[in-house]
Amino acid sequence: MTSTSDSSQPLVSVIIASYNHAPYIEASILSVLQQNYPNIELLVVDDGSRDDSVARIEALQKIHGFDFRVQANKGLSRTLNETIERARGELIAPFGSDDVMLPERIARQVAYMADKPEVGICAGDIQTIDADGNPSGEPRGLPQRRLDFGDVFLGRKPGAPAPTLLFRREALERVGSFEPEVRLEDLMIELKITHAGYFIDVLGETLALYRVHGSNTYKNYRFMVDNVLKTYARFSEHPAYPEVCARFRNSMLLKCARTDRELAWAMLREIPPRFWRWKTLRGLLRMLHGRG
């Protein structure tokens, strides 16, 4: 799909990299097709799915005519980089194949970024939904905020939800886009872009539905530990680097204390005593006694 009914509006390239999300991929694609913004190109890439994603996407592609390609599995970052190279938009929206955009999302973000060249990424709030699409919980209702590198690296403010990220192509190109060796792509690209001097502005309104289901990445603790620490290591010259790593390890220790004690003990051993906090003690109690 490419809509060019209003060429005075910036072209937005929405990229959906699909991987084994057959139950959700149609809702994701349709939510892009139903945007009320007039100038979008949709590029969908199936990255080696083993379910019936390809058949479902092909059925929609025949009706709507968006760009669709099928490839052997390359991973999300490589797929995004290759697709960005052939995308034509000056604004880029990578979008999860299990998430849903609200109809006004792209229009709202484009209007906001129009006179703010300092904003490399625009984001917004999310509403979580379950595997069947039913709302779960409430949007966080956080106010609009601007994030710089310190805000992201040090966690000084609530972050930018991944399903709402809209990138300025110029910012992506300046930092070399996504990094295939780091499979948790959002944190790394946010740090790189803010480190380059751009801001991330997070709007105080709900722009997307984030689907929570059994295979969400954040539930894979070992994956999170490996990739987040790889990301932080890129900025190891920052004076707060030891503290940032310790804070993350404390958080993961508490999360995995009951479900993955081997990983929890590894986290504990790597936290210098000067960075022990109440979370450290709670995690230790959970590991030893199941309490805390």
Q: Tell me how far apart the alpha carbons of residues 230 and 82 are, in angstroms, rounded to a whole number.
A: 23
pLDDT given for residue 20 in this prediction: 94
Q: Which residue(s) pair with 2 in the sheet?
A: 41
Q: Where are the domains of the chain?
A: 12-211, 239-289
**Look-up of token digits 């009706």:** 63
- pLDDT value at 3 more than 50: no
CA 207 to chain centre: 14
Alpha-carbon distance 151 to 194, whole Å? 9
**Helices and strands counted in the chain (H then E):** 11, 9
Q: Per-residue pLDDT tens for 29-87? A: 999 999 999 999 999 999 999 999 999 999 999 999 999 999 999 999 999 999 999 99
SS3 144: coil
Query: Which pLDDT score, from 0 to 100, does residue 139 have?
Result: 82
Phi-psi sector, 4: left (phi>0), alpha (psi -120 to 50), beta: alpha
- Angle of helix 76-86 relative to helix 185-195, nearest 10 degrees, comes to 50
User: At 259, is the secondary structure helix, strand, or coil?
Assistant: coil
The CATH number fitting domain 12-211, selected from 3.30.56.10, 3.40.640.10, 3.90.550.10, 3.30.420.10: 3.90.550.10
pLDDT in tens, 149-170: 999 999 999 999 999 999 999 9
- Residue 218 Cα to chain centre, angstroms: 11
Task: Write down the pLDDT at residue 93.
Answer: 98
Residue % of the chain over a pLDDT of 90: 88
pLDDT at 170: 97
Cβ contacts of 274 within 8 Å, gap of 6 or more: none
Q: What is the pLDDT of residues 93-120, one digit of tens each?
A: 999 999 999 999 999 999 999 999 999 9
pLDDT digits (tens, 9 = 90+) for 223-243: 999 999 999 999 999 999 999
